Amino acid sequence: MIEEIFQIEKHAYKDSYIHRLDARVKIVLAFAVIIAIVSVPYSIMVYTVGAIFFGFFLFLWALTQLSPRVYLQRLIEIVPLWGIVIFFQIFLKNKYYTDYHAVLTFPFGIAVYSESVEFALILLVKFIVSISFIILLSSTTKVQDMLEGGTRMGLPPDFALILGMMLRYLFVFGYIYRKVTDALVTRCFDAFDRKLPYRYRLRQMGYILGTLFIRAYEQGERVYISMLCRGYGRHSFLYVKKKSLGRGDLAFLSLSMAIVIAVPVVVWLAPVRLI
């Protein structure tokens, strides 16, 4: 996962209307959409709300001027594992339905129920919408901007300092990860090579990870000493300049929040349903 950070940050450094928005606006929007879609009850109402939110996402993605391939690549990296869990829902019963009707039956009592298929689709819609807005947020916001945005929104200073340091060193460890994997390839070591004894492979991986752990700790010690040299102490904190939201940011945020709040309410109250 760590090697993706370079690509994500590369996308975040591009320029577009969405990229230029204040990080706080994008954080609030992404979190609001996720909370809104997750708050919608497990009912077919999710289809309509999800479709509108996804349309809104596509519109915003078009404004980012990033290729759809970027979005799809990131989606494909995230979806598979939980996609399988969602797929298996079609064979299972849950507490949200009382009556189940089998549409397909298999040996050993396995059956596909229409209600379970519906529930799986509801989960899938919620999952895809949530992930899409996280991809939008991280693909258009630099890591440092996100941290500053979080701090301006009230992230405790202690935590902001620690999180900031961790984020900074993620890139360092991204490089170290690359170096280590390159070194393994150079030495023709493959942890998945079945010709090698399993115990040997695991022991080597243990040593590699142990070395990485020690490097991380020693890097931490070096950073700590460097920070002490620069006057770091008990009362140090991450300085983030105060900044008000611009008119454009406020207008975008107001309009977006109106959509995010209105869509589920309108779909709930009015018969605006896709199905």
Partner 1 sequence: MHIPDAFIPIPQGIVYWIIALVFVALALRWAKNEMSEEKIPIVAVLAAGIFALQSFNLPVSMGTSGHLVGGALAAIVLGSPFAAVFILALVLIVQGVLFGDGGITTMGANIINMGVIGGFVGFYSFKGLMGITRSMPVSAFLAAWLACLIPALAAAGEMFIAGTFPLEAGLVAMGIYHAIIGIVEGMVTVGVIYLIMNVRPDLVDMGVKRPAGA
The nearer residue to partner 1, 195 or 247, going by C-beta atoms, is 195
Among 62, 110, 214, 266, the residue binding partner 1 under the rule CB under 8 A is 214
Yes or no: say if 90 and 117 are a contact pair by the CB < 8 Å rule.
Answer: yes
Distance of CA 212 to the CA centre of its chain: 25
| Min dist. Cβ of residue 124 to partner 1 (A) | 8
Per rule CB under 8 A, count of chain residues that contact partner 1: 82
- Of 142, 148, 178, 176, give the one whose Cα is nearest residue 163: 148
Cβ neighbors of 114 (< 8 A, separation 6 or more) are 100, 101, 102, 103
| 116 near partner 1, rule: CB under 8 A | no
Which part of the chain contacts partner 1 (CB under 8 A), choosing from 17-25, 196-204, 246-254, 260-268? 196-204
Q: Which of residues 151-170 bind partner 1 (CB under 8 A)?
A: 158-159, 161-163, 165-170
The nearer residue to partner 1, 214 or 258, going by C-beta atoms, is 214
| 6 near partner 1, rule: CB under 8 A | no
Among 123, 240, 245, 259, the residue binding partner 1 under the rule CB under 8 A is 123
| 185 near partner 1, rule: CB under 8 A | no
The span from the CA of 245 to the CA of 102, in Å, is 54
Q: Which of residues 232-251 bind partner 1 (CB under 8 A)?
A: 232-234
Q: Which of residues 35-94 bind partner 1 (CB under 8 A)?
A: 35, 37-39, 42, 74, 78, 82, 85, 89, 92-94
The span from the CA of 107 to the CA of 52, in Å, is 40
Burial class of residue 101 in the structure, from the number of CB atoms within 10 Å of its CB (0-12 exposed, 13-18 middle, 19+ buried)? exposed
Q: Where are the beta strands (DSSP E) in the chain?
A: 102-105, 111-113
Which part of the chain contacts partner 1 (CB under 8 A), choosing from 219-227, 237-245, 246-254, 264-272? 219-227
Among 153, 209, 258, 266, the residue binding partner 1 under the rule CB under 8 A is 209
The nearer residue to partner 1, 185 or 250, going by C-beta atoms, is 185
Yes or no: say if 49 and 267 are a contact pair by the CB < 8 Å rule.
Answer: yes
The span from the CA of 126 to the CA of 254, in Å, is 23
Among 31, 100, 189, 268, the residue binding partner 1 under the rule CB under 8 A is 31
Give first-to-last CA distance, the chain, whole Å.
Answer: 38
